[in-house]
């Protein structure tokens, strides 16, 4: 009973997480700085939520000094620290820009051929560097037979292969169903809840009770209109946001709603 109470207390202390993935936007450094400034002003009073902004690599240096209470994240990281890898950015190079979080395994990278093996190497490199890996998983199709569950399980099991439980504090799972993103319609909160339970079961089978502190995020058409339902009825620890994170007033609105829960 004592262990159960301790886990409940830990979850209550755990901050929620809102991650903004800018992808290949905006067009200029000045636009990037302006978005950061608006978000910084609008979220200065948040207390229960961590905010992460992941701009394109080329903007990391320009926005790294603008974040006293906003964490800086990267959209990817290569698993080698240096070498002949044209176009790649290494996990070690990101440390110079005070990057705390790195998005890995995103569906857009998987669609371009990124494998579970490569994702696993990247996660190992990031967590070994004491940064937090935001590990994205999600099915392309949600079939009635439940085969999508096997897809999610494979992504998690292979993505976290040989990663010790001592690195769980540097791990976040972002559930982002590809079909929901493509349809531009968020999943029903009940379905999000069911999937988050399934993800937690996989983690528990792999790591035991230590996995209870791993935060689960949802991503897929999150807006100010649905984020409260997603958080409360979906029972997730936060959200991963794409286009709305480039609309600073809407992004601030989402953050405030999450923080109020």
Catalytic residues: 106, 176
Q: Which residue, among 122, 129, 86, has the nearest Cα to 104 in the 3D structure?
A: 122
CA distance 220 to 259: 19
Q: H or E segment at 171?
A: strand 171-175
Sign of the dihedral defined by the CA atoms of residues 200, 193, 249, 137, in that order: positive
CA distance 10 to 16: 12
Structure tokens at 239: 């959200």
Sign of the dihedral defined by the CA atoms of residues 108, 114, 117, 120, in that order: negative
Q: H or E segment at 63?
A: helix 60-63
């Amino acid at each position: 009973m004592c262990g159960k109470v301790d886990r409940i207390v830990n979850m209550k202390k755990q901050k929620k997480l809102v991650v903004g993935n800018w992808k290949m936007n905006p067009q200029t450094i000045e636009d990037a700085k302006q978005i950061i400034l608006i978000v910084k002003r609008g979220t200065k009073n948040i207390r229960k939520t961590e905010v992460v902004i992941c701009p394109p690599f080329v903007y990391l240096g320009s926005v790294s000094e603008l974040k006293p209470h906003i964490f800086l994240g990267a959209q990817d990281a290569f698993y080698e620290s240096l070498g002949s890898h044209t176009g790649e950015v290494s996990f070690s190079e990101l440390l110079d820009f005070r990057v705390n979080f790195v998005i890995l395994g995103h569906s857009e990278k998987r669609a371009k051929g990124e494998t579970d093996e490569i994702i696993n190497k990247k996660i190992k490199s990031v967590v070994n560097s004491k940064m937090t890996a935001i590990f994205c998983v999600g099915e392309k199709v949600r079939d009635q037979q439940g085969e999508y569950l096997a897809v999610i399980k494979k992504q998690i099991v292979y993505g976290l292969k040989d990663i010790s439980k001592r690195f769980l504090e540097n791990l976040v799972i972002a559930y982002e169903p590809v079909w929901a993103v493509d349809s531009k319609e968020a999943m029903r909160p009940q379905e999000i809840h069911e999937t988050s339970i399934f993800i937690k079961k996989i983690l528990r089978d792999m790591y035991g009770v230590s996995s209870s502190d791993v935060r689960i995020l949802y991503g897929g058409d999150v807006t100010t209109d649905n984020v409260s339902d997603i958080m409360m009825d979906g029972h997730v620890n936060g959200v991963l946001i794409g286009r709305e994170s480039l609309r600073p007033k809407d992004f601030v609105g989402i953050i405030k709603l999450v923080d109020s829960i």
